[in-house]
Amino acid sequence: MLFYMISIAVVLIDQISKICVRIFMELGETVPFHRLLEFTYIENSGMARGLFPGYARLFAVIAILFVAGIMYYRKKGELRGKWMDIGTGFLAGGAIGNGIDRVIFGSVTDFLAFGSGRGIMNLADMAINIGVLCMVFAMVRAYVMERSEHKQQA
């Protein structure tokens, strides 16, 4: 249940934030927010940092396959535990959020700029990063627990 709640929350928050950016900002506009963050509205038809521009529809298909893979491995029991649920929830929600943009608009709305030279991202991208960190944490935690169990048995 945690997986679905996080996925749905990520998609909703991501899509609402992108709608607000499209309504209240002009394409290319920058609004300083904090010394570490500014809002800069761009449309990205490629992937991270604008790589492979014009392939948004292809990346939408990849997002669908990615989420299908997550669902398959969850059903199979390969991705289990609270931290895996959290991580995969953020990953799936982020992939779906950006996938929606790619299917409907042919590009992804990006607007979060953290310092110069770090690129511009959106909340779905942030969710994907959080998901990866949670999954790495879950794998490291499982590894450490497994090693400590082996040491106790020896």
Q: Each residue of 39-91: pLDDT tens digit?
A: 999 998 766 665 556 667 777 888 889 899 999 999 988 888 999 999 999 99
- The residue behind tokens 């300083």 is 32
Q: Could you list the residue range(s) of the whole structural domain that residue 80 is in?
A: 2-153
Instruction: Determine the average pLDDT of the residues in 102-106.
Output: 91
Dist CA 15 CA 33 (whole Å): 20
User: What's the structural domain count of the chain?
Assistant: 1
Q: 10-19, 27-36, 44-53, 94-103 — which is least confidently predicted?
A: 44-53
- Per-residue burial over 55-93, b if 16 or more Cβ lie within 10 Å, else e, is ebeebbeebeebbeebeeebeeeebeeebbbbbbbbbbb
Helix (H) or strand (E) holding 40: strand 37-44
CB of 52 closer than 8 Å to CB of 46: yes
Alpha helix locations (H) across the chain?
Answer: 2-24, 56-76, 82-105, 123-153
| Cα R_g (the chain), whole angstroms | 18
User: pLDDT by residue (tens digit) across 105-133?
Assistant: 989 999 999 876 678 999 999 999 999 99
Q: What is the pLDDT of residue 122?
A: 96
Nearest of 17, 5, 8, 32 to residue 122 by alpha carbon: 17
Hey, which residues are catalytic here? 110, 125
pTM above 0.75, yes or no: yes
pLDDT exceeding 70 applies to what percent of the chain? Answer: 92
